[in-house]
């Protein structure tokens, strides 16, 4: 069996962390078998190295090795890419085409970003894993293939399964062996080694002196979070190699190439309100505003009743400020009637404004009563409430909505009139 150190040298893997060595060791151990492997880890950690190790150390090393980026292929064509298609299977299919599973027969297929596969393609892939069978798009003929599948993803697979974006049975078929590559921030002892390797490579490539970090810059390099992992570190090393005149890099120079000053500390996650939270708040605001409107209409009715009673002048004088607040500066209240022209509150996302509702007769069912001029205001109100309750089979909420008053006010009226 090939040693870990030999494998790292062969594939250009830099680092001595225990977690990295363990991942490479698992790849070496599983390589001689045909077991499916799932490589997990954050974007940029170098997951593509593991399937290469597995293929080169397996009995399939003389067969084809095909790497497929599942996230880069459009959903409408991925089945054709993987399994092939027959001539005329869809618009543009001018000839029969062999898919990757047919071409790689006897070899290895690396499915990168497998978590991005559409659910329909996942069903086809599951069949290949179970019995090696697949059907070309537009064909009814079952074909066989002998392919070793190594998949990789940076997606949280259990979360994807819970959201029904990935099939649970396919996950367990792919992850017979799970190899996890650690993020760069958990390999602090390897960060400077990697940077030196990249700096040396770019010095040769661009024919210039190799850059070196001061001790303080090395500390800053190790403390940085490196959310883009090895890929991000390589990009920073290349930028510094090309742009810096002084080949000894200080912390001040290094900071200019780091996208932020984040260090490897616990992340603070900003919570944001979901759309459902805003929707719920809007509903509460609607309810509060309409309750206020109903209470104000009720107050108008009561005020008008008192004004039309025997002591209207005294009441009007005593409550002059309240009446003006409700009805405005116009002292002539004779144009207000019991049915009140209601205001409809129009709410938008950013503002609320009051608009006047078209003056339609809300209580059209009470026309008969209103024509009898001998009835008092008290009798009119009583009859309206009775008829509304009868129409809604005693359901106070519906009756209150129809009358334009709050349910609490209606309940008080029912008790007052002993209904």
CATH number of 4-182: 3.40.50.300
DSSP 8-state assignment for residue 272: -
Rounded mean pLDDT of 325-354?
45
The pLDDT tens digits of the residues spanning 163-194 come to 999 999 999 999 999 999 999 999 999 999 99
Of 183, 241, 248, 194, the residue nearest 221 (C-alpha):
194
What are the angstrom distances between the C-alpha of 102 and each of 122, 128, 135?
A: 17, 11, 10
pLDDT of the residue at 343: 42
Question: Looking at 133-211, which runs of residues are DSSP E strands?
Answer: 133-135, 142-144, 148-153, 177-180
- Residue 265 scores a pLDDT above 70: no
What would the pLDDT profile of 227-244 be if each residue is shown by its tens digit? 999 999 999 999 999 999
Q: The domain at 185-255 falls in which architecture?
A: Orthogonal Bundle (1.10)
Residue 363 has pLDDT above 60, yes or no: no
Report which of residues 273 and 303 the model is more confident about: 303
The residue written with tokens 């309240």 in the block is: 322
Highest mean pLDDT among 86-95, 255-264, 344-353, 358-367: 86-95
The pLDDT of residue 290: 75
What does the mean pLDDT of the chain come to? 83
d(CA 156, CA 339) in angstroms, rounded, equals 61
Provide the pLDDT confidence category of residue 98 given band limits of 50, 70 and 90: very high
CA distances from 44 to 7, 14, 21, 226, 305 (A): 20, 14, 17, 10, 77
Q: What is the pLDDT of residue 354?
A: 44
217 pLDDT more than 80: yes
Tokens of 391: 């129409």
The residues spanned by each domain of the chain are 4-182, 185-255, 284-360, 361-419
Residue with tokens 């940076």: 154
Q: For residue 85, what pLDDT band results from cuts at 50, 70 and 90? A: very high
Q: Is the dihedral of CA 324, 325, 329, 334 positive or negative?
A: negative
Tokens read off for 247? 């080949």
Question: End-to-end alpha-carbon separation of the chain, Å?
Answer: 93
Answer yes or no: is pLDDT of 312 > 70: no
Comparing 385 with 21, which gets the higher pLDDT? 21
Question: What's the pLDDT score for residue 272?
Answer: 53
Does residue 352 have a pLDDT over 70?
no
Taking Cα atoms as reference points, which of 41, 236, 204 lies closest to residue 24?
41
Is residue 333 predicted with pLDDT exceeding 50? no
CB neighbours of 359 closer than 8 A, spacing ≥ 6? 341
Per-residue model confidence (pLDDT) at position 62: 96
Q: What are phi and psi of 322, to 5 degrees?
A: -65, -45
- Looking from the CA of 385 toward its CB, the CA atoms found within 13 Å total 21
Phi-psi region of 98 (alpha: psi -120 to 50; beta: other; left: phi over 0): beta
Three-class secondary structure of residue 325 per DSSP = helix
Whether 134 has a pLDDT exceeding 80, the answer reads yes
CATH architecture, domain 361-419 = Orthogonal Bundle (1.10)
pLDDT band at 267 (very low <50, low <70, confident <90, very high): low
pTM above 0.75, yes or no: no
> Residues 9, 183: contact at Cβ < 8 Å?
no
399, two tokens = 């009756």
Sign of CA dihedral 227, 228, 234, 238: negative
Q: How far apart are CA 270 and CA 10, in angstroms?
A: 43
Q: Has residue 30 got a pLDDT over 70?
A: yes
Of the listed ranges 94-108, 216-230, 327-341, 367-381, the least confidently predicted one is: 327-341
pLDDT band at 336 (very low <50, low <70, confident <90, very high): very low
DSSP character string of 378-397: HHHHHHHHHHHHHHTTT-HH
DSSP letter, residue 308: T
Q: How confident is the model at residue 395 (pLDDT cuts 50, 70, 90)?
A: confident
Per-residue model confidence (pLDDT) at position 295: 72
Q: Report the percent of the chain where pLDDT is more than 70.
A: 76
Q: pLDDT class for 49, splitting at 50, 70, 90?
A: very high
């Amino acid at each position: 069996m090939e040693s870990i150190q030999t494998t790292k040298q062969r594939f250009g893997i830099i680092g001595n962390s225990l977690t990295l060595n363990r991942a490479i060791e698992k790849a070496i151990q599983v390589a001689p078998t045909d077991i499916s492997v799932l490589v997990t880890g954050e974007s940029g950690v170098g997951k593509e190295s593991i399937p290469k190790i597995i293929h080169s150390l397996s009995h399939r090393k003389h067969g084809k090795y095909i790497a497929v980026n599942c996230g880069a292929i459009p959903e409408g064509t991925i089945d054709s890419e993987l399994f092939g298609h027959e001539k005329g299977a869809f618009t543009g299919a001018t000839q029969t085409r062999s898919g990757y599973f047919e071409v790689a027969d006897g070899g290895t297929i690396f499915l990168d970003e497998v978590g991005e596969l559409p659910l329909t393609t996942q069903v086809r892939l599951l069949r290949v894993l179970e019995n090696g069978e697949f059907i070309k798009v537009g064909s009814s003929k079952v074909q066989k293939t002998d392919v070793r599948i190594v998949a990789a993803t940076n997606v949280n697979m259990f979360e994807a399964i819970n959201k029904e974006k990935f099939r649970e049975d396919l996950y367990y078929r792919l992850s017979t062996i799970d190899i996890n590559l650690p993020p760069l921030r958990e390999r602090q002892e390897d960060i400077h080694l990697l940077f030196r390797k990249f700096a040396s490579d770019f010095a040769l490539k661009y024919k210039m002196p190799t850059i070196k970090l001061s001790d303080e810059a090395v500390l800053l390099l190790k403390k940085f979070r490196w959310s883009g992992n090895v890929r991000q570190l390589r990009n920073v090393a290349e930028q510094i190699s090309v742009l810096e005149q002084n080949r000894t890099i200080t912390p001040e120079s290094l900071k200019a190439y780091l996208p932020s000053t984040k260090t490897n500390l616990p992340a603070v996650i900003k919570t944001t309100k979901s759309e459902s939270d805003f929707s719920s708040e809007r509903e509460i605001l609607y309810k509060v505003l309409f309750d206020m409107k109903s209470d104000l209409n009720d107050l108008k009715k009561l005020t008008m009743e008192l004004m039309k009673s025997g002591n209207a002048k005294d009441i009007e004088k005593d409550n002059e400020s309240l009446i003006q607040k409700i009805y405005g500066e116009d002292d002539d209240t004779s144009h207000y009637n019991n049915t009140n022209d209601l205001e409809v509150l129009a709410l938008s996302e950013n503002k609320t404004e009051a608009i006047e509702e078209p003056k339609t007769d809300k209580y059209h069912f009470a026309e008969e009563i209103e024509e009898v001029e001998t009835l008092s205001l008290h009798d009119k109100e009583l009859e309206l409430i009775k008829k509304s309750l009868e129409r809604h089979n005693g359901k106070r909420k519906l009756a209150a909505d129809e009358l334009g008053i709050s349910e609490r006010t209606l309940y008080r009226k029912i008790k007052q009139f002993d209904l």
